[in-house]
């Protein structure tokens, strides 16, 4: 408990520092520290009232600082004198860069707000107020649905998928608690499909475990066994490859022969070593992990 007290003191000190920054500064972002305080209060300390207060303050600050952030989206930090000496190609590249930064800023602000809304939904859920919880999850979903299509690096689609999956999984839990098991299973299956499509392996495994538990409760032991076993395989593959790739920094600074001399005993290890050789030889980007097992 003492470590949480110390952490809270540090967060509050960080909040004080942020508060001293000019209000018109878009990077001020009090909501970041307020959200961290809320999550610690909710998930580590179980203080629902304090967590809700921090999350509400975070949302309020997002609303207050919205004009400053909106202005920053339209500002060009490069002075006219500098741009006057640029070629048409350089000016065009500069405009592309500004548009990319705008997309990333909009996506970041949107996902921050959505996560706080989902956290408020979790607080309401813990308090047994399912109606309020569902309203917060729906607000988060509506925010990402309002985003434009595509964006730089397809960022808007990624944010949309992440929040859809988070909202659906939370809604499924509420419906399961309310006795609407079939509806919850349908929502979980949709959640799993989204999570797998964007490479969220550990989240996929957690949703599969939740679906397996619900299937077991309905007497469908075969589906429950399938879901739990698939969750185990996905989780093992995701975490097993993390162990191997944590050594990549060492490997990339070592001779190729050092990697070639490694003889892992498992199929997963051999798979990771093979990819590591390609990375070292410059033939492959640093991988995120092995292919997920098929259902």
Give the relative orientation of helices 181-197 and 155-177 as an angle to the nearest 10 degrees. Answer: 160
Rounded to an integer, the average pLDDT of 115-128 is 96
φ and ψ of 263, to 5 deg? -130, 80
Got the DSSP string for 159-196?
Answer: HHHHHHHHHHHHHHHHHHHTT-HHHHHHHHHHHHHHHH
Query: What is the Cα–Cα distance from 102 to 90, expressed in whole angstroms?
Result: 18
Question: What integer pLDDT is reported at residue 160 of this predicted model?
Answer: 96
* pLDDT tens figures, 274-289: 544 444 444 333 333 3
CA dihedral in degrees (34, 35, 37, 42; nearest 10)?
Answer: 140
Query: What is the Cα–Cα distance from 172 to 182, expressed in whole angstroms?
Result: 10
* pLDDT tens figures, 124-173: 999 999 999 999 999 999 999 999 999 999 999 999 999 999 999 999 99
Query: What is the Cα–Cα distance from 261 to 263, expressed in whole angstroms?
Result: 6
Rounded to an integer, the average pLDDT of 94-104 is 95
Question: What integer pLDDT is reported at residue 272 of this predicted model?
Answer: 52
* pLDDT tens figures, 226-264: 999 998 888 877 766 555 455 544 444 444 444 444 445
Question: What integer pLDDT is reported at residue 249 of this predicted model?
Answer: 46
Q: Which two tokens stand for residue 100?
A: 């990319």
Rounded to an integer, the average pLDDT of 54-58 is 97
Closest CA to 237 of 271, 189, 278: 271
Lowest-confidence region among 1-5, 52-56, 103-107: 1-5
Helix (H, G, I), strand (E, B) or coil at 51: helix
Closest CA to 153 of 110, 215, 102: 102
Question: What integer pLDDT is reported at residue 143 of this predicted model?
Answer: 96
């Amino acid at each position: 408990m003492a470590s949480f007290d110390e952490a809270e003191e540090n967060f509050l000190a960080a909040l004080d520092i942020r508060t001293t920054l000019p209000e018109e500064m878009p990077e001020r972002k009090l909501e970041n520290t307020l959200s961290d305080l809320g999550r610690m209060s909710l998930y580590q300390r179980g203080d629902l009232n304090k967590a809700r207060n921090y999350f509400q303050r975070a949302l309020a600050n997002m609303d207050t600082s919205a004009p400053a952030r909106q202005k920053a989206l339209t500002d060009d930090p490069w002075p006219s004198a500098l741009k006057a000496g640029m070629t048409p190609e350089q000016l065009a590249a500069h405009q592309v860069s500004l548009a990319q930064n705008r997309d990333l800023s909009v996506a970041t602000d949107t996902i921050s707000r959505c996560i706080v809304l989902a956290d408020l939904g979790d607080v309401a859920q813990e308090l047994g107020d399912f109606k309020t919880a569902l309203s917060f999850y729906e607000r988060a979903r509506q925010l990402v649905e309002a985003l434009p299509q595509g964006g730089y690096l397809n960022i808007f689609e990624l944010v949309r998928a992440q929040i859809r999956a988070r909202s659906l999984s939370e809604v499924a839990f509420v419906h399961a608690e309310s006795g609407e098991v079939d509806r919850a299973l349908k929502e979980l299956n949709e959640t799993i499909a989204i999570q797998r499509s964007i490479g969220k392996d550990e989240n996929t495994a957690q949703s599969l475990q939740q679906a397996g538990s619900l299937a077991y409760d309905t007497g469908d032991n075969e589906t429950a066994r399938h879901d739990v076993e698939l969750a185990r395989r996905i989780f093992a593959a995701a975490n097993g490859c993390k162990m191997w790739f944590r050594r990549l920094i060492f490997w990339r600074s070592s001779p190729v022969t050092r990697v070639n001399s490694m003889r892992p005993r498992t199929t997963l290890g051999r798979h990771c070593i093979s990819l590591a050789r390609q990375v070292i030889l410059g033939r492959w980007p640093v991988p995120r992990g092995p292919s997920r097992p098929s259902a």
